[in-house]
Chains A and B, each alone.
Chain A
Amino acid sequence: MEIFLQQVVSGLATGGIYGSVALALVMIYQATDVVNFAQGEMAMFSTYLAWSMLNAGVPYWAAFFATLAVAFVCGVVIERVVIRPVENAPVLTIVIVCIGLLVILNSVAGWIYSYIQKPFPSPFPEKPITIGNVFFGAHDLGALGVTLLVLLFLYVFFRYTTLGLAMRAAAQNPVSSRLCGIRVGWMLALGWGLAALVGAVAGLMIAPIVFLDPTMMSGILIYAFASATLGGFTSPGGAVLGGLLVGVIENLVGTYVKFIGTELKLTVALAMILVVLLVRPSGLFGRVAVHRV
């Protein structure tokens, strides 16, 4: 029973991280119909940035928020400079641009920081937290808390602020948005900025678990795809829930199904993508648009 609870909590912690990356993917997908394959590498690069700051002696939380700010600005700049020129190009073109971005970010990170794995600090104490007679990793609980805070922030932003509303409007109906005076291009750029910020949080929270290296997000991105597919690419809340589910399932299957262990965990994610696409292509919470005309 203790092992079960521990595995569920640590599954929720990594699941929350998959869920945030999935959310970043869904945000961009909803606004532009494009899956940003570079999302993971953008997060990885942000994490290296934080590592540089920490190495220079900046306190953790200062580095944390500075990284988020830089990631946001970089997200906006990438949209304006790299994506904007191909905005009206066929989807395949934009996908290729995203993959190009992935390769470039990956290589530049390797070139600057080398491909050697680096330990990355957690802001949370090393001592596990004991509830009853079950031990929970402090980082697991902390990461889960941070992820939930970010999600709450996004929810409030999109639900209750005028800017958030304008961003949702721009994603749904660009023509009508312009007629309302919304600068649609900037809304898309802001979306990229926010997605980059969420990705950066995910990078910072996962790095203490998987260690920092230029390919650290490639596996996470596949889990994020599994989460977004499971929850539905049209549902931000679904993507997050999908993430939590994927995290927990991954952990439980790895613990209780002997032949899978840690080596075949990633295969579980891929199998989940396949099953969801075969059985319920819109995902658990994906919306089938309802129109009355």
Chain B
Amino acid sequence: MVRTAGEIRFDAQQIAGRPTEDIVRLGIAHVPEGRGTFTQLTVEENLRLGAYARRDTGALARDFARIYDYFPVLGERRRQIAGSLSGGEQQMLAVARALMLRPRLLLLDEPSLGLAPLVVREIFRIVRAINREERVSVLLVEQNVATALDLADHAYLLETGRVVVSGPSAELRRDDAIRRSYLGY
């Protein structure tokens, strides 16, 4: 994405134009669209890489346990090559890897893309749990409006790159125009 105007600030710091590696070290974890897992590495190695930018490596063992708690299927497949996982499992791995950073902000880019509805529901359930229990802020970009509004506290509606509506999710959900155009009832 190319920034054409304005600024991007995180925790009062300008971050636009800074190298990705440095932004990660501020505690921002990004799950890109299309997952971006290391398909030739094992599940466990993917998770180790998620914690690469962290200094407090002593707490890692506990975090592995925590992640396998949230995603039991990843625990079962920890020695498997990530490329052999199903699409949904790879998406879980992508989220899990981001969490290994112990981020302050988690960016999720279309986590539902190309996944079965049941899998999408499972992933969103976990993201909600992480948001509530771990107190991690989540910035979610999602075309699946109903699911996104269920999860979010605050929502922005973008049309061709502009914010057209914003407000608490509950309010957007009640908005008649949005309901008709995006929720379909």
Contacts and interface: CB of A to CB of B under 8 A. Distances in A.
Interface of A: 162, 165-166, 168-169, 172-173, 175-183, 289-293
B97 A180 contact: yes
15 contacts: A162-B48, A162-B52, A165-B48, A169-B49, A172-B38, A179-B20, A180-B49, A180-B53, A181-B24, A181-B52, A181-B101, A182-B53, A289-B83, A292-B83, A293-B87
B143 interface: no
B83 A176 contact: no
Contacts of A172: 38-41
Given A162-B48, A166-B49, A179 B30 contact: yes
A293 B91 CA distance: 11
Interface residues of B, number: 27
Given A166-B49, A176-B32, 18 more contacts: A162-B48, A165-B41, A165-B48, A168-B41, A169-B45, A172-B40, A173-B38, A176-B37, A177-B49, A179-B24, A180-B97, A181-B24, A181-B53, A181-B101, A182-B52, A182-B53, A289-B40, A291-B39
A175 B48 contact: no
Contacts of B145: none
A140 B106 CA distance: 56
A13 to B, nearest CB: 32
Contacts of A168: 41
A172 B36 CA distance: 11
Contacts of A178: 19-21, 24
B144 interface: no
A290 B52 contact: no
Contact of B83 (A179, A183, A291): A291
